[in-house]
Amino acid sequence: MNVLRVDVRVEVPGFGVDATFSASNGVTVLSGPSGSGKSLTLAAIAGTLRPVRGVIHLDDVVFADVDSRIHVRSQDRRLGVVYQHAALLDHRSPLDNVALAVRDGEAALRRSSAMELLARVGAGSLADAKTRSLSGGERQRIALARAMAGSPRLLLLDEPFSSLDSASRAELRALLKELVAEHRLIALVVTHDQADVDALADRVVVYEPGRTVSASE
């Protein structure tokens, strides 16, 4: 079983957060009010922010260790990331968006792998659609397929369903749980929506502004 361990302080001008928790296979929800530091923690794990103190490691792979001056680049951490807004390339097709994230192989093989992923997330029929015309739920399905394309060991999702209607949220929560179980992944989901917590969480890390206060199964 994979285990992610986080014990860091992360700061931006005017605010900082102390986060200490561990996460294993399944969905760990980072829950708490907006502005409490959940997304800052995710950014440190993703490698887009450097912590000012502490360590982050996944099994025996050290992502960050401030005292040892270790900071692994985001692209070398084997992460899949899904944001609140899918951040797709609107000038490329859904198939291209996913194929660009496949790590290895010739172009034809990458496109074949991308097509399989689109089918798995229920978006096979959208492969050649105009990306800018997709609904919010469709865009997040493409974003999930893209996140899986690099064979990640860790999925990071920041408010991934908050802009969707209730039916789309329910469908995508179920899909996420299936993907995490199938691939034996660790997924960290940032949310302040109690419905996400109830539907997704194998364990919960609760935040108050600037710190984690509890972690429970």
For the chain, the structural domain boundaries read 1-78+185-217
| Average pLDDT estimate for 195-203 | 94
161 touches 173 (CB < 8 A): yes
Q: How far is CA 171 from CA 28, 85, 130, 180, in A?
A: 19, 17, 22, 15
Q: What is the pLDDT of residue 85?
A: 80
**pLDDT of 186 over the 90 cut:** yes
Per-residue pLDDT reduced to its tens digit, 137-159: 999 999 999 999 999 999 999 99
Q: What is the pLDDT of residue 149?
A: 94
Q: What is the pTM of this model?
A: 0.92
Question: What's the chain's length in residues?
Answer: 217
Q: Which two tokens stand for residue 132?
A: 């800018």
Q: What is the pLDDT of residue 80?
A: 95
Residue 42 — pLDDT band, cuts 50, 70, 90? very high
Give the Cα separation of 96 and 111 in Å (integer). 7
Record: fold of 1-78+185-217: Rossmann fold (3.40.50)
Per-residue pLDDT reduced to its tens digit, 121-130: 999 999 999 9
